[in-house]
Amino acid sequence: MSVLALAFAAVLLLWAAVLLAFAGPLAARWREPVLRQPVLIIESDDWGAGPLAQAEALIRLSALLQGIRDVSGRPAIMTLGVILEVPDGARIAASGGAAYHALTLADSRFATVRTAMLAGIQAGVLVPQLHGQSHYWPAAILAAAQTDSDVRSWLLSPEPASTETLPPYLQTRWVDAAHLPSHSLASEAIRQAVELEVATYQSLFGRVPRVAVATTFVWNEIVEDAWAKAGIEAIVTPGHRATNRDSTGQPGGIDATMLSGECSPDGPVYLVRDVYFEPALGHGPERLVKGLNQRVRQGRACLVETHRFNFLQSLDASLATLEIGLNSALTACPALRFMSPLELAHAMNARDPAWIETRLMPRLIAWRARLDEIPRFRRVAQLSGLVWPLAWLGRAA
């Protein structure tokens, strides 16, 4: 065997070793479905029980979305992560702050908000999904209010509260973060809470929720199991599952990572939402287009995270930025399609050939585009020269 052949064999062996060392994440990205069409979903959290100014924001959002159509003629879609109750400050104050009372979205005070939501749902542009009965764990808020005067005045306020003004760790529903690091909730308490929120959601929207997104992206397998038993089919994630709040109040205890299309051991499909678009924080429309372009290269749907605070703090400016962003996305990707998270989950589950790529070359190209996100892989691929054959795959695009 010539020296050249030996060297070539050694390089091939080296590449094989690199591929073997990263086999897990490489295989996961190969299994992850590749979309045939660019897909954009605007996901907006925190709507529901809360400030009455939401009604006008929802009416104007619905009108905006109806005016923007994809290539199939379908209007743009925005999900509403729905919160079903806020504190009933007057009643809690009457108890001296000792007992928690809720003001649910079913209360007559929220009639205009409900009407605006339902009109947008009817028009096919707003898609509700479960965010939580409350954007906090009630017992934790009650306990925190004993020692924190800001939390106490928030809790006792007679006006429907904005949970956005709570300290972030207290906005987490599925842990007790009254004291940090947070404490786990009893399994039975979680199960009962999920039963309550699913029943409340059903009474308001006429059907059980089928997509759930945990407040502040902190939840655990007990929540997931309870959601699955209650009929949840898809769980929106940031790509990992944080299970607690650490001693500094940050999300911690990450015990799972996931890609879109993977299934929870309990059954629901995971979706990954990882493009952040908050116009009130200075995010421009180009951020939406950049996120879309990158995910299209990766054969992924672009799930964009935004929140109601954008549309409560600066309605006109946030609507304008969203409108420019959606129109720019259509210009950048004329084949763009709008769809709901549940439709995406179903298409992935069924490997629907109308949406999911089956041809080898497009799948390889998308797989190549996903690899740079694997920690350390890019560096190792450069050092080993594996980057050359991978670059060839990229150029084949």
Chain Cα centroid distance, residue 51: 22
Map residues 44-73 to x or -, x wherever contact with Zn ion holds by CB under 5 A.
Answer: -xx---------------------------
| Spatial contact of 34 and 363, defined as CB atoms under 8 Å apart | yes
Give the residue with the Cβ less far from Zn ion, 32 or 45.
45
**Residue spans of alpha helices (H) in the chain:** 3-21, 23-31, 54-66, 89-94, 111-122, 138-147, 149-156, 187-205, 221-230, 285-297, 309-313, 315-332, 341-349, 360-370, 377-384, 387-395
CB of 193 to Zn ion, least distance (A): 16
Cα–Cα distance, 44 to 54 (Å, whole number) = 12
CB of 85 to Zn ion, least distance (A): 14
CB of 221 to Zn ion, least distance (A): 21
CB of 18 to Zn ion, least distance (A): 40
Binding region for Zn ion (CB under 5 A) out of 202-210, 213-221, 274-282, 374-382 = 213-221
Give the residue with the Cβ less far from Zn ion, 162 or 298.
162
Give the residue with the Cβ less far from Zn ion, 215 or 298.
215
DSSP 178: S
Sign of CA dihedral 206, 208, 210, 212: positive
Amino acid at 195: E
Binding region for Zn ion (CB under 5 A) out of 103-111, 208-216, 283-291, 296-304 = 208-216
Give the residue with the Cβ less far from Zn ion, 15 or 276.
276
| Spatial contact of 329 and 295, defined as CB atoms under 8 Å apart | no
Give the residue with the Cβ less far from Zn ion, 46 or 70.
46
Cα–Cα distance, 90 to 160 (Å, whole number) = 10
CB of 83 to Zn ion, least distance (A): 7
Amino acid at 310: N
Binding region for Zn ion (CB under 5 A) out of 86-94, 105-113, 209-217, 263-271 = 209-217
Cα–Cα distance, 212 to 268 (Å, whole number) = 10
Give the residue with the Cβ less far from Zn ion, 58 or 356.
58
Give the residue with the Cβ less far from Zn ion, 174 or 377.
174
Give the residue with the Cβ less far from Zn ion, 45 or 262.
45
Map residues 16-45 to x or -, x wherever contact with Zn ion holds by CB under 5 A.
Answer: -----------------------------x
Cα–Cα distance, 275 to 367 (Å, whole number) = 19
Tokens of 114: 């409900």
CB of 138 to Zn ion, least distance (A): 16
Q: Which residues are bridge partners to 101 per DSSP?
A: none
Q: Does 215 bind Zn ion (CB under 5 A)?
A: yes
Sign of CA dihedral 219, 223, 224, 227: negative
CB of 373 to Zn ion, least distance (A): 25
Binding region for Zn ion (CB under 5 A) out of 15-23, 65-73, 207-215, 272-280 = 207-215
What is the phi-psi region of residue 253: left when phi exceeds 0, alpha when psi lies from -120 to 50, beta otherwise?
A: left
C-alpha distances out from residue 50 to 35, 88, 162, 356, Å: 37, 11, 6, 39
Q: Which residue is nearest to Zn ion (CB)?
A: 45
Q: Which residues are bridge partners to 251 per DSSP?
A: 245
Binding region for Zn ion (CB under 5 A) out of 186-194, 214-222, 257-265, 386-394 = 214-222
CB of 86 to Zn ion, least distance (A): 13
What is the phi-psi region of residue 181: left when phi exceeds 0, alpha when psi lies from -120 to 50, beta otherwise?
A: beta
| Spatial contact of 236 and 129, defined as CB atoms under 8 Å apart | yes
The CA R_g of the chain, rounded to the nearest whole Å, is 23
Give the residue with the Cβ less far from Zn ion, 79 or 298.
79
CB of 359 to Zn ion, least distance (A): 39
Give the residue with the Cβ less far from Zn ion, 45 or 88.
45
CB of 307 to Zn ion, least distance (A): 6
| Binding-site ranges for Zn ion (CB under 5 A) | 45-46, 215
